Structure formats: structure tokens, C-alpha cells
Structure 1
């Protein structure tokens, strides 16, 4: 019978947040006994979800007093004023960007504010005795708290890097970025002293981080319930449906417009094609941006129902945009949806910058169709439609690849073995 160490999960957001990081963490941790898990977070929206999933979870923002006070003020202001900003014109986009930059400056200042000198841990842990701290880091406050816990209980820290925040900020053009990045790196070095093994979101990231630090980094990505996502039959409707699911942040709506343009040309050449976008961020799309004769924009569906959307598709689409501000931060990132796409038994199309590790990863393993420029995008889509032999080979290879590398049992076993090794249990 397996013996499970007690894991203390510590992050800015709860593992039950509905975003991609929350999904990835839930999929990895769902196989761990609830009584061996305890979560400390700063996510004000997470309470009810935590209770439903029977994991002891505590909101600990009050141990960062300045952060806690600002959040309280922000919540009070939101009750009297709701922001309905949409990106409908260039000036509106500039205003939204300026407001976002100012918020980010404030958030960074708050993040480096002092943590309480004395913390009564029993108030939050309620008898839970942790063997290890598991955190995504990416926050000075979170790493300060992790270090306090590590010293208090004499336990190791395991970091899970989802993006390359150790070297780049998501936006380095904002005033004070160099100083804030230095603060992050200072506390990351302190966490590494308490670390013997960590996780990274991709093999390339794990390899590079291990070379840099001399500390073990293991590739651990989103775990997929293969049987849930796998669809044996192919969609045989009148239209060839290209489907994108997920957020439109990081200017992905611009890349999806390029996909639509390529599909429009193919439609003019006699192919009955459609683009379907399922997203919870429709407000990011400029007014009348997409052609409704080609593109349908739908509301995002709950993650538990994404497999149904994938089943209706012929081709699954993922996009990223060439943005020098964002490029470093997301260099190694692998979207949560990528293994889900592969498991769905549908050909995948990635349209992304050539220097992204994700594009290199998919090309190297021959598990997706890829393009990094507009002319190539048209040719690639046409190849997916016309070369059924290659499309079948790529699709079948992706299915096998996800079973070997992302299947939930495999990912959870890698996680279990690493945690047991770290805790010497």
C-alpha cells in the first residue's frame, strides 16, 4: 500500500481556480488522498470550490498586511463600480493597456511588501503536519511564506515552473521591472537552497534549468484522462470545422484572424470550412473583427465539457502571437489544452512564432501540423485537408504520444515518485 507524504500547497491562486494553471494542478493532485493535502492561497474566489472537494484550504492573504488592505479596498470599490471595458478601437485598447500597466506596477509593489514577522500557523493548518511544500512560486510574497514554513517545519520546497518567470517578467516594459525581477530572483535563490528536486512544464525547460542550477528538474505537464478525451470516430459533417478553445489573452485573437484569413481563401477555392472559437474572453475581440460567414464565436464551456466540443471538430487549433514583450516569459510554456487536443484523436494545428519551444517540441515529435508565417499557414491547412495519409499518421502518432507522456496515471506516478524521493519516504 502506498504511503503518501503530507503536501502543503502554497500559491497566489487556489488549485480550484478555473484557469489553465488551476486545471493542471487539479489534474496532477486529484490522485492524492485529500487527508494528505492542505492548501494555503490568496485567491478570494476559491472558497466554495475548496469545500466541495474536501481538501483543507485556507485563505492567507492577511499574513501580507499591505496586500490584504489593498484587496479589501479594491473589493469595496468594485461593489460600486463595474468595469465593462472592451477593445473596440485603437484608443480604447491604449487606455486598457495603460490601466493594466498601472495595476501591474501596484501589484508588484504590494507583492514585495513585508510578510508578518510572526505567523500563527496553527490558525491556518489546523493540525496538518506538512512533509513538503509544493508551489508554483512566481510571487515574492508566496516565496517568503514558503521559506518561513520551510524553516518552521524543517521541510523541503518543491517548485513547479509553469512559465519562465525565473528569467523574464510577463511585461518587462513597465517601470520598475528590473528591480522587481531582481526581487523574484533573490527569493527564488533562497527557495533553491531548500530544494532538492523541482518540476518544469516542458522537457526543454527542465533540461535548461537543471544545467543552470545543478538541481534536478523533472518535466511534468498537464495530466489527461485519455479515455474521457479520446474519440474513435471522426466528424463526417458537411463542413470541415477548425476549433479553438480557450482564452484570447496574449493577443491570440490576432493570430486567429490569420487563421480565418487562410480559411477564407480556402473557402473561395471550394473548400467548405469553418472556424469555431470557444472562449470566455469575447470582450477582447474588437467589434466586427471576425467574418461571421467563416467564424463562429461561442461562450466558453466548463472544462468538464470541453471533450464534447473537441469531438465535434475536424481540426483543433492553437495559436500564439509574436510579441517581443511576452516572448521570453512564455518561451517554454505548453498550454494546458495541448495534451487534451492530442488525446482527442483529431489533427492539431499550431500557428505560433518560430522561436517558441512549443513549436519545436511538436515538430520534433511529429505530432502536429505547424506554421509560423501567413503563407505557410495557408499551405499547411490545405495539406491537412488534402493529404489524408499524412493527417492520419500525425493524428495517430499524437494519440500514442499523449498516452506515453501525459496520461493521468503516468503523470501522477512521476509526481508521486518525486515527492517521495524529496521527503525520503
Structure 2
């Protein structure tokens, strides 16, 4: 099975989505996957995959130029003529290279930005005549609709996105959602069936966490691993940082932010504001696993506002299975409609705070950080619920049926 993977980011362990892709496609020879990407991370997993085709939209290469005489006019033109990004780019070059590769199917990770992956998928589907598989991980459609209410540019983008999205869904041969909640909601909204594929716990990772005997970090560490985005978690992270600042007066502790490089700026601002906040960019896989094992508390959190709801209510935290496998207590903070909060309540994965209440956040963290606090985690149950081998087998079996 040869796959053309259309995704903003490549298979890697440098970000949560790349890690999910690595696990879903594990077992398929790297030479049988060609990745059409905008961003390319390099790490111990990403470097196994050597087939890459860069995809550019209208004036994207010029905007990234080091020559300011080229860079500044290109950036201005992109803003003025942004609808052209749907139609102008190097898609013909991508098509020529894919014809040489001869893939059996197209896999598209659906995103709203960059928009041009939707018309690219339609173009390739038409010219290659092979099955198109879609994978939705966030509700960009509703997110853009809310932003469009106050922003005329977003209004145009939203209309264009919905136009191409419905075409892509209509022409797709198989569709995956990131959660059961998303699958049900999207089936109603778009009138098409959806299967589910999300991240899970590999047996090897589970056994590793069970076998290691690391000492817990001192001072006690609360770990945030992932991006710090205004639309998802920027407000709630201030509540958490403030709570840890107050707890530190009685229980020595720190709030460590392990973030992608492009989120170093908000992490640094938090560290400048709160004395107990430290930050670092993403670590190699083994160092990251040690971070999970040596923390005292891991945080999974979302904002509580309607804008966040539009974007993430059906989402699945790709880092959640790793957190649960580690055996470190995980605190979930988010509204009742949040998919992760619902999973915690359904499977009793750990403590949940489902109201935006700084006092509750402080009290729960204080309890988890206290000496001799009971550990509410149950990695064995999480490994059964999120068995990656079962998820991967189901996913790859459905792909194979597309080309039989």
C-alpha cells in the first residue's frame, strides 16, 4: 500500500499530530509513504521518512525570502489577494511527482489553515483517480464561522473553506474523525459517515513506564506539554500558573511548560510574569517520556469560552494517552462539553474540574502536590481503553479495503 499523505506537518514526534500520524502509519514501510507538507520537522522518527514533496501556495516562497525587497511586497500581496491561494501554487509540480510515485490512495489531514490543502486534494483526486481518505482532528468549520461574525476577511475565508470542504467530503471515499463525539456530530452536519481514529497507548510505551523507577523531580513539578494557543488554552493556563504561584508559598513546586518552538514567546511571557514558571522547547522522545514520569502532576486543560468550544469540543488531546500511560496523576480542566473532560468522567481517569474556578484549581493541585497524596491514575485501564494496536489495525485495515 503506497500512500500520499497531505498534511501541514510531517510524521514526527516533534508535535502531537505528527506523533499520531507516526503511530497510525507504523508498520507501513517509510518508502511507501510520500508526504506533501508545508512544515517539516526533524527528529528520530521523522528522519526515517525521506520521501517529501514541499507544497506552496500563492507567493509563499517569496514571502519567506531573506531578501526584504521580495519578502515585504509578497507579504502585502498575499494579504490583499489571499483568495488566490486556493488556485495558485505548485500543485502541478506535486502532481508530476506523485505520478512518478504512483500512490494507491490520498490521505488528507483536514485543516482550515493553510486552506489550500482542500483544493489540492480535489485536484489530485481528479487527476490521479485514486481513493481519497479524510481525517478531521478539529472543528475548523464552526471555528471560522464564529470568527467570521466580526471579521470580514474571516467571513470570506469561512465561505471559501465551507465551499471546498463540502466538495472534498462529497468526493472522499473514507472519512475519519478524531473522536466518537465528532463522528456523530459531523455525520449529522455533513450527511456522510465517519469512522474514528485517534491516538492510543502502545504496549511498548506502557511497559516502559511500568518498568522505569525515576525519582520525582524536586521541587515538585506540574507539567504542561504542548502549545499555548489563545483559541484553546491561553486563559486557563494563567489560572493554573497563578494557583501554583500561591501553592509554592507552602509546598515548593514549579510549573514547567514544554512547548513547540513556535510557542516559545507566550511561554516566555508566562515565565516573566510568574516566578514558579519555567519553560523549554520540545525534547527528544526519551527525554519527553522521562518528563512525564518524573512530574508530580500532568495538566490537560482548555479554555471555557464559546470560541474554544467551537474549535475543540469534539477534539481528542493527542497527548492524553501518553499522559495516562505514564502513571503520573493527570488533572483535567475544562467545561462539561469538552471531549477530554467527558472521557475522564466516563473512564474515571483522574480528577476533573469542569468549572472556571481558580480556587478549585488551586485546591485540587494542592491536594495532588501534598506529601503522601494518593495516586488516582490507573495506566492499565487506560491502556485497555486506548489500545494503539487495535486502533492502528482498524485504521490500516480500512485503508487496505479502499484499494482492494
Name the TM-score, length of structure 2 as normaliser.
0.82
Closer, same or farther in 2 for the Cα pair 1:358/1:78, shift >3 Å?
Answer: farther
Structure 2 residue aligned with 1:231 = 209
Q: CA deviation at 1:306?
A: 0.8
Residue-by-residue CA offset, 1:140-188 (whole Å, 9 max, x unaligned)? 4212221222222322211111110133228444322222212112222
Structure 2 residue aligned with 1:275 = 255
State how 1:375-414 maps to structure 2 within 5 Å: 375-385=359-369, 391-392=374-375, 394-396=376-378, 399-414=379-394
Closer, same or farther in 2 for the Cα pair 1:348/1:195, shift >3 Å?
Answer: same
Structure 2 residue aligned with 1:85 = none
* Structure 1 portions without partners, runs of 5+: 83-101
Aligned residues: 388
Cα RMSD after superposing both structures: 3.5
SS across alignment from 2:377: helix
The answer to whether residue 243 in structure 2 is matched with residue 262 in structure 1 is yes
The answer to whether residue 53 in structure 2 is matched with residue 53 in structure 1 is no
Closer, same or farther in 2 for the Cα pair 1:163/1:419, shift >3 Å?
Answer: same
SS across alignment from 1:212: helix
Contact 2:109 2:135 in 1 (8 A): yes
Q: CA deviation at 1:277?
A: 2.3
Structure 1 residue aligned with 2:165 = 188
State how 1:151-300 maps to structure 2 within 5 Å: 151-169=126-144, 171-172=147-148, 173-228=150-205, 230-232=208-210, 233=213, 235=215, 239-250=219-230, 252-268=233-249, 270-279=250-259, 280=261, 281-284=263-266, 285-286=268-269, 289-292=272-275, 294-300=276-282
Closer, same or farther in 2 for the Cα pair 1:261/1:412, shift >3 Å?
Answer: same
Closer, same or farther in 2 for the Cα pair 1:54/1:138, shift >3 Å?
Answer: closer
Structure 2 residue aligned with 1:359 = 341
CA distance in 2, matches of 1:366, 1:107: 50
CA distance in 1, matches of 2:240, 2:81: 35
SS across alignment from 2:36: strand
SS across alignment from 2:142: coil
Q: CA deviation at 1:313?
A: 0.8
Structure 1 residue aligned with 2:60 = 71
Closer, same or farther in 2 for the Cα pair 1:283/1:148, shift >3 Å?
Answer: closer
The answer to whether residue 286 in structure 2 is matched with residue 307 in structure 1 is no
Closer, same or farther in 2 for the Cα pair 1:355/1:287, shift >3 Å?
Answer: closer
Contact 1:166 1:184 in 2 (8 A): yes
CA distance in 2, matches of 1:141, 1:133: 15
Contact 2:270 2:277 in 1 (8 A): no
Further displaced range: 400-409 or 365-374 = 400-409
SS across alignment from 1:395: coil
SS across alignment from 1:250: coil
CA distance in 2, matches of 1:106, 1:225: 47
* Structure 2 portions without partners, runs of 5+: none
CA distance in 1, matches of 2:66, 2:108: 31
Name the TM-score, length of structure 1 as normaliser.
0.78
Q: CA deviation at 1:217?
A: 1.3
Q: CA deviation at 1:258?
A: 1.8
Closer, same or farther in 2 for the Cα pair 1:226/1:240, shift >3 Å?
Answer: farther
Structure 2 residue aligned with 1:29 = 25
CA distance in 2, matches of 1:208, 1:264: 40
SS across alignment from 1:176: helix
Closer, same or farther in 2 for the Cα pair 1:136/1:386, shift >3 Å?
Answer: same
CA distance in 1, matches of 2:43, 2:293: 31
Q: CA deviation at 1:12?
A: 3.4
Closer, same or farther in 2 for the Cα pair 1:6/1:290, shift >3 Å?
Answer: same
Q: CA deviation at 1:420?
A: 2.0
Further displaced range: 239-248 or 341-350 = 239-248
CA distance in 1, matches of 2:194, 2:398: 10
